[in-house]
Amino acid sequence: MRVIAVSKSTEKGQKKINQPQAVLKAGFGMEGDVHADGTHRQLSLLGIESIESMRKMGCDVHPGDFAENITTEGINLYTLPIGTHLKIGESIEVELTQIGKECHSGCAIAKQVGSCVMPKQGVFVRILKGGIVKPGDPIAIV
C-alpha cells in the first residue's frame, strides 16, 4: 500500500496538478490546496484502481483528474469504516471521515461515460498529524 501521486489545485472544480511533494497540516489540509479549510474533508484520497476502472470505460484519466489530493495503490479505501486511522509515510496520521461525495453538476467525466468513481470510491480524511507526503510513501492502516 503506497502513495502513487500527490496533487493540489488553487481553484475549485478543477483537476488537481501532480506535485513532487506536499505539506499536510494537522487540522487544516494540504498547504496551497483550495480545499484546505479545516473541515472534516481536509484531504481527499482515491485509489489508482478506481482510476483504472474508468480507463477501461474509455476515459483518458490520470491521478488528480478526480480532484483527489492523494492517489493510493493497494488499499480499498471506500471499504474501510469511518474513523479508521491511516499512517502515511513516516509521521502523517489521518482519520477517515467520509466515504464518497456528491459530484458537482457538470462533472466532465460523468458526462463522457455516464458515471464517475469519486461519489462512491473517493474518501475524505481529517489530518491528525501532519508532515510531508510524496509519491512512493507507504500507507498503513493503524
- Asked if 43 contacts 24 with a C-beta cutoff of 8 angstroms, the reply is yes
Q: What is the pLDDT of residues 70-120, one digit of tens each?
A: 999 999 999 999 999 999 999 999 999 998 766 555 555 555 555 556 657
The confidence score (pLDDT) of residue 109 equals: 53
The confidence score (pLDDT) of residue 11 equals: 83
Q: Where are the alpha helices (DSSP H) in 11-104?
A: 48-56
* SS3 state of residue 95: strand
The confidence score (pLDDT) of residue 12 equals: 77
What gap in Å lies between CA 66 and CA 28, rounded to an integer?
A: 21
Contacts of 123 by beta carbon, 8 Å cutoff, 6+ apart = 44, 45, 46, 77, 78, 80, 96, 98, 99, 100
Q: What is the pLDDT of residues 3-20, one digit of tens each?
A: 999 999 988 777 899 999
Q: Where are the alpha helices (DSSP H) in 48-129?
A: 48-56, 108-113, 118-121
The confidence score (pLDDT) of residue 117 equals: 62
The confidence score (pLDDT) of residue 20 equals: 98
The confidence score (pLDDT) of residue 86 equals: 98
Find out if CATH 3.30.390.10 is the number for domain 2-141: no
Q: pTM (2 decimals)?
A: 0.88
Q: What is the pLDDT of residues 51-60, one digit of tens each?
A: 898 888 788 8
- Asked if 132 contacts 68 with a C-beta cutoff of 8 angstroms, the reply is no
Which residue type occupies 75? I
CA 136, distance to chain mean position in Å, is 15
The confidence score (pLDDT) of residue 120 equals: 72
The confidence score (pLDDT) of residue 103 equals: 59
- Asked if 76 contacts 47 with a C-beta cutoff of 8 angstroms, the reply is yes
Percent of the chain with pLDDT over 90: 61
